[in-house]
Chains A and B, each alone.
Chain A
Amino acid sequence: MSAEADQVTATRRSGAVAGAPTVAGGVLDVRELPSFGFSHRSVMWWGTAGLMAIESTVFALAIVVYFYLRTHSELWPMRSPPPELLWGTLNTVVMIVSLWPNQLAKRAAMKLDKSGVQLWLSVCTVLGFLILMLRGLELTALNVRWDTDAYGSIVWMIMLLHTTHLVTDTWDTTVLDVLFFTGPLEGKRYVDVNENAIYWNFVVLSWLPTYAVIYFGPRG
């Protein structure tokens, strides 16, 4: 092992910083470091990850409640037909399609490409509102009310839970989109676009098991 490698190992072992500005004479100069970073380098990424962990727990528990109630009932649905497949399935397809411009917005953000972000964020915003409209139609085709029976209650709870995510993230995307046209901008705003895209992935991916439960739970 070279003397230099020895030095690095020694610094690592002692917990001092390696591969970064070194502590020379008790001074660690950080002025050359970047002022923002993507992915796990940013606090926003960790905040978003925490939010996703919490909300995944809520979705998982809501689905557990669905099946808990199902095992306690001889008939499921108890007295109503299952939800109609049309709007829910169509919305699922649109949501999956929306992952593509979402990914492009994310990529543009990581390249600090302002016009790319403007374009793809706008597409995402439009798709967000389209998905919300389809969700409205979905809610009219559930074939059960929340106060009909326990089946209706849990179906509505899961649907509204997911709809809340759609509403909040569509609003989030809209605000970010407007900001990219009006300013003021700084590097951190690109990190926000990146985190917003990650969160949208979560909103769509959390829908897939939810879709399966809501639409095929009563058919299985």
Chain B
Amino acid sequence: MTVSGTASPPRLNSVPPSAEDAAALERTWRDPPGLLGWLAAINHKEIGKRFIVTAFGFFVAGGLLAAAMRLQLAQPDNRLIGPDLYNQIFTMHGTTMMFLFAVPVMQAMSIYLVPLMIGSRSVAFPRMNAYGYWIYLFGGLMLFVAFALNIGPDAGWFSYVPLAGPDYSPGKRVDFWAQMITFTELSALIEAVILITGVLKLRAPGMTLNRIPLFVWGMLVTAFMVMFAMPAVMLASTALITDRLVATHFYNPAEGGDAILWQHLFWFFGHPEVYLIFIPGLGFMSAIIPTFARRPIFGYSAMVLSLIATAFLAFGLWVHHMFATNLPELGKSFFTAVSMMIAIPSAVQIFCWLATLWTGKLVFKTPLLFTFAFFFVLVLGGMTGIILASVPLDLQVHDTYFVVAHLHYVLIGGAVFPLFGAFYYWFPKITGRMLSERLGRWNFWLFLIGFNVTFFPMHMLGLQGMPRRVYTYGAEMGWSNLNALASLGALTIAISMLLFVINVWRSLRHGAVAGPNPWNAGTLEWSTPSPPPACNFEAIPVVGGRDPLWEPGGVRGHVAGLAVDSRELLMTTVLDAEPETRESFPEPTIWPFVGAVATTVFFIGSIFTPWAIVWGSVPVAIALTAWFWPKRRENTAHLALERAP
């Protein structure tokens, strides 16, 4: 920024913004250059891109682990991977996909997209956002470094005690798992608070609550769920690590602890987590379908209410993961009922999308194809969900490949297919270039076919009694052909993913130039150039409808009077998005990065000595204080704009 300690009045933007306004805004909002500048970056688009790329990197790593498992299981009595390594691989696969990919990638997409969709220039706490990213990155890297050193966790992605306790899992493997939880959940909680605050306070004027894009609603509901679900797993994993490191007895029945307590706490988080992954997927669907059906969404209010209902119900069905434990039968019936009930809001949304598609004029581009896969795959997963929600049926297939098939149908169908649709949909916005449609169609069909060839046979394998998590099986079991088929499917998925990477790689250089709105979509992110300038919008739009760009005459107007040479943002009221204050936002700084490094030392140190909690907190406190402490130059700029309420 250019304002220094002089008395010159701050420069405010005009409408339409002049070329000088635009240039000043670009200087003000861009991240600093150089390596230090890179570490100090806080622009939500930069952090969002890093978050997306990192999450996709973990997705590829988790996928390679899956490929290793399918290679091992491709034939009976295979000796390629031993039982110990296999235990680590399936634990790492589940942990990576759930904690390092599925939840973070959704938050990553929202970090990039939500400010653009609500007509803002930033997330609510940009420095905290950068800190959240670094914490996530360091936590994920820690887990993979541990795995590379043969201390990868090996007690399954949900680390049941007593297997994960000190008696049956000596060494440090499970400790790394427990601390990975601390890292990722801290990051997720931070991002949830940032998102909620941003959506409630930073919307463009006129974007009342009932005009928020449905993807943003989905992320808002998800963020609220994160706030109430994630604390359970953090508490549980802290108790697990203290049981292992300082001999507490939370899960030790010999001293009054209880092993089922772990399952309650884990699934009180774990079931809502499925919806933390699924609801953003629904948000992608609701963004893509109207654009390619060329009409506004059918049943907006019903969609929003369904999202909220799903979030509430998601907290009432964790025990359906525990039907094989010794809990009262009446209690189990309650959880069966809630598990069935959650189908209702899901069905409402599916029917609203079908109505939108039915009455629209469809444009068959790749993003729409991926949403079609959602209908097919998720509904199949939902069907097996009804089977698993029923206690007697669940007991028959508990811990078999039937469950593996079910969860992949739900999660990949419900979240990953829409996510790939979202990649194709917003790639032009993020990069300025279109992905190839031809490669996209190959990517889609190979993924869809490969997915079904991999996971459909697993239903049969489960019904035939093949348990989960076995590193091999005998030829006499009769599971060989179906397993070989599943491995062939996994290879097909791998090829489809390779095509996606090639598509991204080529399109970054040679893709057709996108322009601001290549799909003729209706939401605000498409009103700004692709890729967007550092400030997102040279003038903040004023919104007059749910699909502002589809309103007659487009957006209603623009905001004038915000500083262009200082990071100033418009805050609006929570319900009606009426202008309320202009607030100065913080500038880039290295301290979130330093704070994240200090936090990492603190967390990893505490795996080895409880005293790290004492000495490790000192650098954290120093970094966070330096981060907060105002700089005179910034302060002068803020004072120049100050006007007391």
Tell me the A residues contacting B by CB distance below 8 Å. Answer: 12, 14-21, 23, 25-38, 40-43, 46-47, 50-51, 53-55, 57-58, 61-62, 65, 68-69, 72-73, 78, 112, 146-154, 156-157, 171, 175, 179, 183-189
Indicate whether A61 sits within 8 Å of B124 (C-beta atoms), given known contacts A37-B645, A153-B242: no
Cross-interface CB contact of B232 among A61, A150, A186, cutoff 8 Å: A61
Q: Nearest Cβ distance between residue B488 and chain A, in whole angstroms?
A: 45
Q: Is B258 an interface residue (CB 8 A)?
A: yes
For the complex formed, measure the closest distance between the CB of B571 and the CB atoms of chain A, giving whole angstroms. 7
Interface size on B, residues (CB 8 A): 84
Q: A37-B581, A54-B193 are in contact. Are A175 and B628 (CB under 8 A)?
A: yes
A37-B572 Cα distance, complex, nearest whole Å = 11
**Closest beta carbon of chain B to A153's beta carbon, Å:** 4
B interface list, Cβ under 8 A from A: 12, 15, 124-125, 128, 189, 192-194, 196-197, 200-202, 205-208, 211, 227-228, 230-232, 234-235, 238-239, 242-243, 246-250, 252, 255-258, 261, 264-265, 268, 542-545, 556-562, 568, 570-571, 574, 576-584, 621, 625, 628-632, 635-636, 638-639, 641-645
**Contacting A53 at CB < 8 Å: which of B228, B261, B632?**
B228
Measured between beta carbons, the chain A residues less than 8 angstroms from B201 are 43, 46
Most chain A CB atoms below 10 A, which of B196, B557, B577, B638: B557
Q: Report Cα–Cα, A27/B250, bound state, in Å.
A: 61
CB distance from A116 to the nearest CB of B (A): 16
Closest residue of chain A to B257 (Cβ to Cβ) is A150
* A193 and B324 alpha carbons, distance in the complex (Å): 52
- In order of increasing CB-CB distance, the 6 nearest A-B pairs are A31-B561, A150-B256, A50-B193, A26-B557, A153-B248, A184-B635
A29 touching B542 in the complex, CB below 8 Å, given contacts A57-B227, A186-B642: no
Complex CA gap A19/B574 in Å reads 15
Q: Do A69 and B256 touch (CB < 8 A)? A: yes
A149–B210 Cα gap in the complex (Å)?
53
- B256 & A73 in contact (Cβ 8 Å cutoff): yes
Is A65 a contact of B265 with CB atoms below 8 Å?
yes
A179 contacts B197, C-beta separation under 8 Å? no
CB distance from B627 to the nearest CB of A (A): 11
Cβ–Cβ contact A17 & B628, under 8 A? no
A69 to B630, CA, bound (A): 47
* Nearest-neighbor residue (CB-CB) of B545 within chain A: A15
B556 and A26 form a contact (CB under 8 A): yes
Contacts of A188 in B (CB 8 A): 583-584, 638
* Cα distance A30–B246 in the bound complex, in angstroms: 57
- What would be 7 A-B contacts, judged by CB atoms less than 8 Å apart? A32-B561, A33-B581, A156-B248, A157-B238, A175-B629, A184-B636, A188-B638
Say yes or no: A15 contacts B544, CB within 8 Å.
Answer: yes
Given contacts A20-B579, A38-B645, A43-B583, contact A184 B630 (CB under 8 A): yes
> Do B542 and A23 touch (CB < 8 A)?
yes
- Give the residues in chain B near A20, CB-CB below 8 Å: 205, 578-580
Contact A72:B235 (CB < 8 A) given known A20-B578, A186-B630: no
A65, B261: Cβ atoms closer than 8 Å: yes
Asked if B227 and A53 sit within 8 Å, CB to CB, the answer is yes
A184–B255 CB distance below 8 A: no
Chain A residues whose C-beta falls within 8 Å of the C-beta of B205 in the assembled complex: 16-17, 20, 28
Answer whether A19 and B578 are a contact pair too, CB < 8 Å, given A28-B557, A37-B571, A149-B249: yes
